Structure 1
Amino acid sequence: MTPVFNFSAGPAVLPREVLLEVQNELLDWHGSGMSVMEMSHRGKEFMQIAAEAEEDLRAVMGIPSNYKVLFLQGGATTQFAMVPMNLLRGRSVVDFVDTGHWSKLAMKELRKFGATPHIVASGEANGYRDIPAEEGWQRNPDAAYLHYTSNETIGGVEFQSTPKTGDVPLVCDMSSNFLSRPVDVSQFGLIYGGAQKNIGPAGLTIVIVREDLLGQAIAGTPTMFDYRIQAEGDSMYNTPPTFAIYVAGLVFKWMQRQGGLKAIEQRNIEKAALLYETIDTSAGFYRCPVDKPYRSRMNVPFMLADASLDEAFIKEAKARNLLQLKGHRALGGMRASIYNAMPLEGVRALTGFMQDFARHNG
């Protein structure tokens, strides 16, 4: 079978060997006679799966013991509400770094709780082509926390280091570069992200929260939205997304077999460098709208100089088994998402096609 390379921004490509494991275990998990999809979340079989998934995630990320790991539902978008419900703690201002679409949606949700987003820095004036330098941020010392999006999936800008916030808890929407590089979890108050980029199927959201931030939810917080309740119930206050947790656990083990996050990061650097080099050396046929120091390793937006060729590009790419390259409707053009599971072979196939297309249409 000719390999197909899926550049979707999410739900996204999963490691092939993980999918084969899922296929092999689909009807009978480890001799239990049950598919994971059929198991009780309270049964010993699934409890083992969930415990191993958390243990492996802690090992992969180096999560300290004073942090809780929650396997939740509702996507990262639900966290735009859950974070202020749990972390405002009587304060009315939250610091935000505005880097584009997802930052704006998080700020919009915050306002529903009577709190004010204080924008410490924004890339809007520059078309979200960069991230303002941290030394120029205008922080509010009374902020409940500082929120940032480490990688904007649509705009393709990515933080290359972790902001320093002192005593103010740092909150990160890490959805689209979660587990793509090592991070020091101890620098964060809370990390959250949807699983459907680098971790597993859509339907699972992971929250990593420092224990001292639990137990101070605002009055009226729904039970399911209270981090303390979820932590006390080991993410099983109700039925969790069992199959998605199972697949995520397999991906965590796959990451360990790859050599961990340092090795994965090096491969991600190599893939991104190859794709950006192809764009930048195309004599203007392709262009990336993001300034070089802020370019994402995960989501690479690019435009053709002649937009009338866009449809032909997508059609011919599909004929070469290069799928899901159309850019987000808010930005247009193309977007190649090259998450952990995208092999270097896939990026080479894409860049080879891009060079051929430019030669035939330039």
Structure 2
Amino acid sequence: MSTLNAPKPSGRPRRPEFSSGPCAKHPGWTLDALSDAILGRSHRSKPAKARLAEVIDRSRAILGIPADYRLGIVPASDTGAVEMALWSMLGQRGVDMLAWESFGEAWITDVVKQLKLDDVRTFKAGYGELPDLAAVDTDRDVVFTWNGTTSGVRTPNGDWIKDDRQGLTFCDATSAAYAMDLPWPKLDVVTWSWQKVLGGEGAHGMIALSPRAVERLQGFDPDRPLPKIFRLMSKGALAEGVFKGETINTPSMLAVEDALSGLRWAESEGGLKALIGRSEANLRIVADWVAKSDWADFLAVDPATRSSTSICLKIVDPQVLALDAKGQAEAPKRIAALLEAENVAYDITGHRDAPPGLRIWGGSTVETSDLQALLPWLDWAFATVCADLAKAA
């Protein structure tokens, strides 16, 4: 598909919110969704705790989390949930750390430079690829992201994780939960936030713990200080209240009400299977367009690892690739700026740590029709930028 003379499209996406976090609100959302929020009351009051427990119960039901897994609401979004798990449970045995994008790298930094654990192996791959999963030893602890939010590369399955493993698997699933099929029996610690696939507000995280993870918490006393917001143990016992809505710190009840709105919408759509179907449909739309494009390609090398949520694209046009590094980085920024000025797409520049490109959220709250409307605009914006480059040459 030649974009040299791509015309300016006449139609626009109804909703131009394609940010990878915070993400688009669910279809039909209005401020009225917050009208029943419990405000001006203690979060430990009976009605407030009931709302928090409702978030836990509805989340468990939609995601199909096993009944014997603990599920709780914790501070500081997915980041806080991951940090809580790493600081509370790592160190009993060696750990394998996986990274193929910026968040995996951040967890390596935590473990190597902050926790300073002795027995750490790292498995890394560049943006667009996965490390060799077959080389990972799940008799050690393993820390990984299910979906690389900043690279658009996801784990294709959990087959590489042994059922009879001795170690714990720590899975950062923040841009996978509610849009991808997570194999719960393979996962011991799973974290995510409200601000991703269900389009909730930020600052709150979720953590799910398998019975083996709970056993680790109860039987392992890490030789390090733990800040209050990381403590899942209280007076030598598991802080069971965390898993019933008794949060460690004060939550925003407005955000809680918003989370419930997203969960109820998910139920009305048909639950997890329907949410996965919506996101996968979005990926197919973009894949069909990429297959015909003469300037864009997926950052993910292997089609089996392409994310359906954080869809990352790179520019492969020779005119752009002939530019110096600064020019190559500037091209996608100019494309994104043009589309934002037209109120067509907001916040679709690739992550600052990723190779230059575009990142389009295709999670379950994004309508496929809006993605279909966006794609001709990508061609128009690219053609416009190329024309400007030609004039400047």
TM tier, smaller: 0.7 to 0.9
**1:159-308 superposed matches below 5 A:** 159-162=155-158, 163-165=160-162, 166-199=165-198, 200-210=200-210, 211-215=214-218, 216-219=220-223, 220-229=225-234, 231-234=239-242, 235-283=246-294, 285-291=295-301, 292-304=303-315, 305=317, 306=320, 307=328
| Equivalent pair of 1:94/1:116 in contact (CA under 8 Å) | no
Residue in structure 2 matched with residue 103 of structure 1 by the alignment:
104
Change (3 A) 1:315 1:224: closer
DSSP-derived class of the 1:322 partner: coil
Match of 1:340, as an amino acid?
S
Within 1, Cα distance between the matches of 2:240 and 2:289? 50
2:358 counterpart of 1:334 = yes
Residue in structure 2 matched with residue 139 of structure 1 by the alignment:
137
Q: Please state how far the C-alpha of 1:37 moved relative to its aligned partner.
A: 3.6
Within 2, Cα distance between the matches of 1:266 and 1:25? 25
Residue 314 of structure 1, aligned match among 336, 349, 362:
336
Q: Please state how far the C-alpha of 1:2 moved relative to its aligned partner.
A: 7.7
Match of 2:175, as an amino acid?
S
Within 2, Cα distance between the matches of 1:122 and 1:73? 29
Within 1, Cα distance between the matches of 2:367 and 2:197? 13
Residue 368 of structure 2, aligned match among 344, 349, 354:
344
Unaligned runs of 5+ in 1: 30-34
| Equivalent pair of 2:344/2:374 in contact (CA under 8 Å) | no
Match of 1:147, as an amino acid?
V
Change (3 A) 1:243 1:217: farther
Change (3 A) 1:231 1:258: farther
Q: Please state how far the C-alpha of 1:115 moved relative to its aligned partner.
A: 0.9
Moved more, 63-72 or 211-220: 211-220
DSSP-derived class of the 2:103 partner: helix
Within 1, Cα distance between the matches of 2:187 and 2:169? 5
DSSP-derived class of the 1:96 partner: strand
Residue in structure 1 matched with residue 154 of structure 2 by the alignment:
158
Residue 62 of structure 1, aligned match among 41, 61, 64:
64
Residue in structure 1 matched with residue 20 of structure 2 by the alignment:
9
Q: Please state how far the C-alpha of 1:13 moved relative to its aligned partner.
A: 0.8
User: More relative contact order in 1 or in 2 (CA 8 Å, sep 6+)?
Assistant: 2
2:352 counterpart of 1:325 = no
| Equivalent pair of 2:95/2:142 in contact (CA under 8 Å) | yes
Change (3 A) 1:72 1:256: same
Within 2, Cα distance between the matches of 1:217 and 1:192? 22
Residue in structure 1 matched with residue 4 of structure 2 by the alignment:
none
Within 1, Cα distance between the matches of 2:368 and 2:359? 17
Q: Please state how far the C-alpha of 1:334 moved relative to its aligned partner.
A: 1.4
| Equivalent pair of 2:339/2:381 in contact (CA under 8 Å) | no
Within 1, Cα distance between the matches of 2:228 and 2:111? 19
| Equivalent pair of 1:192/1:207 in contact (CA under 8 Å) | yes
Residue in structure 2 matched with residue 32 of structure 1 by the alignment:
none
Q: Please state how far the C-alpha of 1:357 moved relative to its aligned partner.
A: 4.4
% identical aligned pairs: 19
Unaligned runs of 5+ in 2: 1-11, 321-327, 388-393
Within 2, Cα distance between the matches of 1:164 and 1:213? 18
Within 2, Cα distance between the matches of 1:278 and 1:241? 41
| Equivalent pair of 1:70/1:231 in contact (CA under 8 Å) | no
DSSP-derived class of the 2:233 partner: helix
Residue in structure 1 matched with residue 5 of structure 2 by the alignment:
none
| Equivalent pair of 1:174/1:192 in contact (CA under 8 Å) | yes
Residue in structure 2 matched with residue 38 of structure 1 by the alignment:
40
Q: TM-score, normalised by structure 2?
A: 0.80
Moved more, 235-244 or 57-66: 235-244
| Equivalent pair of 1:159/1:294 in contact (CA under 8 Å) | yes
DSSP-derived class of the 2:72 partner: strand
Q: Please state how far the C-alpha of 1:160 moved relative to its aligned partner.
A: 1.6
Within 1, Cα distance between the matches of 2:75 and 2:43? 15
Change (3 A) 1:131 1:321: same
Please list the CA deviations of residues 209-252 of structure 1 after superposition, one character each: whole Å capped at 9, or x if unmatched: 12323323424323331223474223424323433222212212
Q: Give the number of aligned pairs.
A: 345
| Equivalent pair of 1:5/1:342 in contact (CA under 8 Å) | no
DSSP-derived class of the 1:16 partner: coil
Change (3 A) 1:310 1:254: same
